[in-house]
Structure 1
């Protein structure tokens, strides 16, 4: 069982103010290559609850925190805890500071998917071991985090549901996949960072191993379309993702 601890620079419980309706508990989970830091947003529902682990894109949660917070607000309003998982190690963060071309970054990422997926599984173990866990947990990944989420879900049968936004399955892992949970992929048709074909391939892969899988295409939308504050499709994406987890994680 993985150890989970609550840490603060002041010692004791750390609360991070996010919005008037939401606060996050800062946690640390023991894992290979060092602790994984996460922020846990607990829903107001009492008793045992499902949870969703949220995996950031290549530039982390700090790029557009309010965009990720929209999902946390919607999930917790539906009685689902949300955990922002900072799966990078300090070495990863240092490496990304020096990798200035897309080719070098992609090569580095290819060599890290196994390790990142294992770190996510360590967090999953810790969350499932919590006294308030219902035993059902989902993964929500954005861009690079979508690839990490897909890889982790393929290798960890404890994942009950998978939602990927403009991501896919890592090429080197795809041939090994024997299992995936129910999944939904949301993808802009005008995405130039991660082609729509990558999302379509993930859904085909899911169906090929017996998973219920669907893709929602957004005509004319680019990579990260749901990060826009005033686009109606942002609310559509949040609603679809939240509804998907509500149905899958609260199933009997």
Structure 2
């Protein structure tokens, strides 16, 4: 009996390693109003008053983004990480794809708000995912605040902006993938349109944050979200 139980445990742990999931995480699918389905992973307390939609970068929902989702889940958020590439035939950052991804983002924000316990909804994006978050934000997606980690506002949405929720802009000055100029232009746009924006640039960081900068970015994001929770 003990041997059978031990084998079951080994099988379970192996399955977790293959899937990349840990206890407390679930994989689900969300059907949009148009009938399309998007897979997503959920982290944290499903009854939390704080819901966070987390948008991965171009590499998809890889371990780094799962680690960030777990971090925010441990900080008391219900975290939804949509596999938004499911909604398009390709992954190129085209205007058509951005429009679809922004629409999917709005679907997940609406999913957050369906939960009766939800009091505040936030959006965080990384690289390409951050550009998707900014695109959705420019169309007045209904969130309390957005955290932009080394992304850029797509040109089409720059010229068709309807507004922007409170925005935290975090970027590395050595970024050669999405140059710091993109973040600086977004700061200028915030000033011109009198938007509620904060920013911080990391002099020693490239595309993506590491070490102390990663922890600092996490804490700045938590503080910003707490300030805009009501």
TMscore range, shorter length: 0.7 to 0.9
How far the C-alpha of 1:33 sits from its partner, in A, is 6.9
Output the CA distance in 2 between the equivalents of 1:151 and 1:60. Answer: 18
Cα deviation code 1:46-92 (max 9, x no counterpart): 6x502110001111112xx1x32443333233322111111112653
How far the C-alpha of 1:145 sits from its partner, in A, is 0.6
Residue 117 (structure 2) aligns with: 132
Output the CA distance in 2 between the equivalents of 1:118 and 1:91. Answer: 11
Contact 2:150 2:171 in 1 (8 A): yes
Contact 2:174 2:204 in 1 (8 A): yes
Q: Which runs of 5+ in 2 are unaligned?
A: 1-15
Aligned counterparts, 1:80-229, within 5 A = 80-89=77-86, 91-92=88-89, 95-96=90-91, 105-106=92-93, 109-134=94-119, 136-224=120-208, 226=209, 228=210
Output the CA distance in 1 between the equivalents of 2:187 and 2:29. Answer: 33
Match of 1:74 among 68, 71, 74: 71
How far the C-alpha of 1:234 sits from its partner, in A, is 1.6
The normalised TM-score by structure 2 is 0.83
* 1:23 matched to 2:8: no
* 1:38 matched to 2:40: yes
Residue 246 (structure 1) aligns with: 226
**What SS is found at the alignment partner of 1:88?**
helix
Output the CA distance in 1 between the equivalents of 2:88 and 2:163. Answer: 31
Output the CA distance in 2 between the equivalents of 1:156 and 1:90. Answer: 21
Output the CA distance in 1 between the equivalents of 2:56 and 2:141. Answer: 21
Output the CA distance in 2 between the equivalents of 1:88 and 1:182. Answer: 26
The normalised TM-score by structure 1 is 0.76
C-alpha RMSD of matched pairs (Å): 2.3
How far the C-alpha of 1:208 sits from its partner, in A, is 3.0
Q: 1:247 to 1:72 in 2, by over 3 A?
A: farther
**Matched pairs, number:** 212
Residue 49 (structure 2) aligns with: 49
Flag the structure with higher helix content: 2
Output the CA distance in 2 between the equivalents of 1:91 and 1:70. Answer: 25
